[in-house]
Structure 1
């Protein structure tokens, strides 16, 4: 797992204790979004989960304001991810992503991008065996470990 930009990691870790986070993923990525959401719930992070593809509807129908949006997209260019990016333009909301393509629109526009190894980068239908989603979970668990270590040192 690579993080771009690497210097954004400390700020991200510090924000987990006080930010309101919205997590989104569609298709197979929704499984990872659900996992991250569940882990945040049991660790006390203020998180919500949105699996539908349209952020604008969510924004219109809820009064909740989010400090950051976490988007999971294997390609970083799915229609759902691109729709969310477009809806978040000029909203001053921190974007965090897990993606397999460091050059994707999602990775390049995110404030923090976790770039996960994807040996089947061009298999958009997820037809072939691919460890990408497992690597996402491992990467997220590593992130939690870093956060726990940071909290322990600060206590």
Structure 2
């Protein structure tokens, strides 16, 4: 519960803020204390607590306590939920880390070219900037000469694509593959052409580009950022150590 936000919303004074803080931090004791016990602990009166409840549009003291304790439980559940989701992506990154490390070692001092289109290009730009500030020779512009055969083992292509079937990207990756230019792809669909052409395809398997529901959340972009951050962070830590 954010007491400062509530204070601003309901124009609470210091005594009223202290009452809320006490209820929040002594949730287990509230039932046995009752309104008189809370009032005593907060150096105020039961009437002041009831007036606070009314001020916040609650029917009385009981509803005030119920809402505050409910918010506390909800906050803990949300925190646990976020931790669980983050742990999922960390474990997913671990699955790909060994090969990711080998690739980054192979191209640590060579050219890395980032490819993407649409929203994927935005994620590609983020990856590009992250690599640059950490000392990699990375570019986000499509220099087609870099996928010619003479650049084999000298250029790594990183592709960000949700479907793995974007026509222009597929053509470039196919050409790179034919010229022995290696590809690292961040992809939503593991069963796609671009995944097949990749030395390593990091797949989230949450491609919803062709979902019947147009309002489904696009988890792909956020998922890729989390996975990339876990991969790069571990790589940099191990490189430094």
TM-score by length of 1: 0.79
Paired residues of 2:128 and 2:140 also in contact (CA < 8 A)? yes
Measured in 2, the distance between the counterparts of 1:36 and 1:136 equals: 10
2:121 paired with 1:30: yes
Match in the other structure for 2:145:
59
Match in the other structure for 1:10:
101
Match in the other structure for 2:135:
44
Higher helix share: 2
Match in the other structure for 1:20:
111
Paired residues of 1:77 and 1:106 also in contact (CA < 8 A)? yes
Paired residues of 1:75 and 1:121 also in contact (CA < 8 A)? yes
Higher strand share: 1
Match in the other structure for 1:142:
230
Structure 2 CA distance for partners of 1:137 and 1:13, relative to 1, 3 Å: same
Measured in 2, the distance between the counterparts of 1:17 and 1:86 equals: 23
Paired residues of 1:3 and 1:114 also in contact (CA < 8 A)? no
Q: How does 1:98-113 map to 2 (within 5 A)?
A: 98-113=186-201
Which protein shows a greater Rg?
2
Please give the per-residue CA displacement for 1:75-124, whole angstroms capped at 9, x wherever unaligned. 0011122111232132121100000111111111100111124162524x
Q: Mark the runs of 5 or more structure 1 residues left unpaired by the alignment.
A: none
CA RMSD, 1 decimal = 2.9
Measured in 1, the distance between the counterparts of 2:173 and 2:215 equals: 26
Please give the per-residue CA displacement for 1:11-32, whole angstroms capped at 9, x wherever unaligned. 1232352221000101111011
Match in the other structure for 2:182:
94
Aligned residues: 145
Paired residues of 1:119 and 1:132 also in contact (CA < 8 A)? yes
Structure 2 CA distance for partners of 1:139 and 1:118, relative to 1, 3 Å: same
Q: Is 29-38 or 81-90 further displaced after alignment?
A: 81-90
Measured in 1, the distance between the counterparts of 2:178 and 2:127 equals: 26
Q: How does 1:99-138 map to 2 (within 5 A)?
A: 99-118=187-206, 120-123=208-211, 128-138=216-226
Structure 2 CA distance for partners of 1:142 and 1:96, relative to 1, 3 Å: same
Measured in 1, the distance between the counterparts of 2:95 and 2:190 equals: 8
Measured in 1, the distance between the counterparts of 2:231 and 2:205 equals: 16
State the secondary structure of the residue aligned to 2:140. strand
Measured in 1, the distance between the counterparts of 2:98 and 2:158 equals: 18
